């Protein structure tokens, strides 16, 4: 029944039996002839005029056919569309005391938050979440496409304003907490962008490999920005490389901005095709109906049977 798919009310098409019967009656029914006393006149049977008048008399049945099709709600398949696959990006920002160290015209924390706000403009249409961590983890902004909350976050979670229990750096705990947030989102790609300047003891002893395996199982890509002069921790390098990300160590504010642009380029936007939808397709059928109606009216002026 695939041929019935492009109609809103396919059951109406059953009425097409009526114009079919009218056409059968038009061409097969007797009684068109008119006997006149012209014996031996030599007149031909008029097959040509018979065919022409038969076609003219078929126009009302054809018009009825088109009307039934219009009542059935003709549709057509729209062109397949494409859409951007949503990327769920969870920012994981270190707010330990060392993030107050000087970096450019402000602190490491200030530079990081400015770079994050600029990054939001690169990835328009994606969903973003914001998590702060030290020795504890705080999910500040849930995953959302409304990024206005990010603009207001910096002063509230500045390392100078946070409680003492945020003073350390536990990156492993933070990554697992962000993993739980991203696992709740079934739609789209998943990405963690870690921003920290410290070393984390909770990645030692093979713990980093366990965390990397869990992130890989959930399809989460991790990028890390090590905003310090020291080398990034080996476990962080391993986690990012195994999940398909990378570690960056910007030396100044300009380098930090370049890092975020580079991450945007590396995390490519995926495009997928959306199944085509059936949309109304009345114009061709209406125009055809008007044409048949006009032809029927013109034929009625002379191309018809007359008993006299």
Residue 40 CA to its chain's centroid (Å): 80
At 190 the three-state DSSP class reads: strand
Extents of the domains making up the chain:
2-78+276-299, 83-272
Q: Would you mind telling me the total number of residues written for the chain in this entry?
A: 308
Give me the tens of pLDDT residue by residue for the chain, a chain 308 residues long. 444 457 888 888 898 899 899 888 888 876 555 555 555 555 555 677 677 777 888 888 999 999 999 999 888 877 666 556 678 889 999 998 888 888 878 889 888 888 888 888 777 778 889 999 988 999 988 888 888 877 777 777 888 888 777 778 899 999 999 999 999 887 778 899 999 988 888 898 889 999 999 999 999 999 999 888 888 899 999 999 999 888 888 876 777 777 777 777 765 555 555 556 778 888 899 999 999 988 888 887 776 655 54
Say which CATH superfamily domain 83-272 falls into: von Willebrand factor, type A domain (3.40.50.410)
Residue among 251, 165, 265, 178 nearest 218 (CA): 178
The C-alpha angle with vertex 75 and arms to 72 and 80, in degrees rounded to 5, equals 160
> What pLDDT does 229 receive?
81
Q: How does pLDDT run across 240-272, given as a tens digit for each residue?
A: 999 988 888 887 677 777 777 777 776 555 555
Q: How does pLDDT run across 67-122, given as a tens digit for each residue?
A: 999 999 888 877 666 556 678 889 999 998 888 888 878 889 888 888 888 888 77
CA distances from 129 to 23, 69, 224, 298 (A): 68, 52, 16, 70
- The tokens describing 302, both together, are 């002379």
- Whole-number Å distance between alpha carbons of 174 and 159: 16
> What pLDDT does 181 receive?
93
């Amino acid at each position: 029944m695939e041929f019935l798919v492009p109609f809103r009310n396919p059951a109406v098409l059953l009425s097409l039996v009526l114009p079919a019967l009218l056409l059968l009656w038009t061409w097969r029914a007797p009684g068109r002839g008119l006997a006149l006393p012209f014996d031996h006149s030599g007149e031909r049977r008029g097959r040509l005029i018979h065919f022409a008048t038969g076609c003219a008399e078929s126009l009302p049945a054809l018009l009825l056919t088109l009307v039934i099709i219009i009542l059935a709600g003709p549709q057509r398949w729209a062109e397949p569309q494409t859409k951007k696959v949503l990327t769920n990006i969870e920012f994981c920002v270190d707010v330990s005391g060392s993030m107050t160290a000087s970096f450019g015209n402000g602190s490491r924390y200030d530079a990081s938050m400015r770079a994050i706000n600029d990054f939001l403009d690169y990835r328009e249409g994606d969903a973003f979440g914001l998590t702060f961590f030290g020795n504890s983890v705080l999910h500040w902004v849930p995953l959302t496409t409304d990024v206005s909350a990010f603009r207001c976050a910096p002063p509230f979670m500045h390392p100078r304003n946070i409680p003492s229990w945020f003073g350390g750096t536990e990156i492993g705990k933070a990554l697992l907490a962000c993993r739980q947030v991203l696992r709740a989102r079934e739609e789209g790609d998943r990405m963690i962008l870690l921003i920290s300047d410290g070393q984390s003891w909770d990645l030692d002893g093979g713990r980093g490999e366990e965390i990397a395996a869990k992130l890989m199982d959930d399809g989460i890509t991790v990028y890390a920005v090590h905003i310090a002069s020291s080398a990034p921790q080996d476990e962080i390098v391993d986690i990012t490389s195994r999940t398909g990300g990378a570690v960056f160590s910007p030396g100044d504010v300009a380098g930090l901005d370049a890092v975020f642009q580079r991450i945007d380029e590396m995390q490519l936007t995926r495009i997928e095709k959306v199944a085509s939808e059936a949309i109304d397709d009345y114009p061709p059928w209406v125009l055809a109906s008007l044409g048949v109606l006009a032809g029927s009216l013109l034929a009625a002026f002379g191309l018809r049977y007359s008993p006299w």
